[in-house]
Structure 1
Amino acid sequence: MNLWLLVSTTVIGCYALKLAGYFVPPAVLAHPQVRRLVELLPVALLAGLVVVEAVADGRHFDIDGPRLAGFAVGAFAVWRKAPFLVVVVVAAATAALLRLA
């Protein structure tokens, strides 16, 4: 399959999915359960991506000590309700210092 055809199809599919969101009736979004799901779904997807990046390298598991330590420190900072920039900086600094050592 041609790479540009694949990329174009993906772009059109993503745009169509986003456009479909505008056609959801407001009554559906008024339900508390649906609203809660819509609010939490991006958080769950982002958390899944972060965990995959923490323990995988391509298609293989990569148990990397400094990377996991940075992930743990970042998770602790999130748990303590630190601002996003602080979470990123302490996680990156932890991994960098452990790689330096």
Structure 2
Amino acid sequence: MSAVTIGLLVAAGALAVGTLALRLVGVLLRARITPSDRVQELLDTGVAVLFCALIATATLVEAQEFVGWARPAGVAVGGLLAWRKAPFVVVVIAAAAVAAVLRLVGIP
């Protein structure tokens, strides 16, 4: 095995142990520490912001370039249907269909 491979395995192992330790500490401290309402609100907002940022980057960018309009349109249709509480299968099929039709007519 090369030194790079060993280094990658060690780094992956360290990340796995660190992740497990953080999750375990969270479970153990959850029963002992009760955050204030303001802190809980900030944590909930932070989760929503991070989730929106993840959706935005996955929707709009690939290989550091704009992906075109078909994918964002499909995601928008899927988001609208999910917001309207459509069944998950309908959401996925409609989003994929919108993106496919737009690509078929030449919109990237």
Between 1:79-88 and 1:33-42, the stretch displaced more is: 33-42
Tell whether the 8 Å contact from 1:71 to 1:91 is kept in structure 2 after alignment.
yes
Matched, 1:76 2:75: no
Matched, 1:4 2:12: no
2:29 alignment partner, SS class: coil
TM-score calculated relative to the size of structure 2:
0.69
Tell whether the 8 Å contact from 1:28 to 1:34 is kept in structure 2 after alignment.
no
Percent identity, aligned pairs only?
Answer: 33
Distance in 2 separating the partners of 1:42 and 1:89: 27
Amino acid aligned to 2:80: F
1:52 matched residue in structure 2: 57
Query: Structure 2: which 5+ runs fail to align?
Result: none
Distance in 2 separating the partners of 1:45 and 1:83: 25
**Deviating runs (4+, > 6 A) in structure 1?**
none
TM-score calculated relative to the size of structure 1:
0.73
Deviation of 1:32 after TM superposition, in Å, equals 4.5
Amino acid aligned to 1:20: V
1:28 alignment partner, SS class: coil
Matched, 1:13 2:18: yes
Distance in 2 separating the partners of 1:57 and 1:43: 22
Go from structure 1 to structure 2 and tell me whether the alpha carbon gap of 1:21 and 1:81 turns closer, same or farther (over 3 Å shift). same
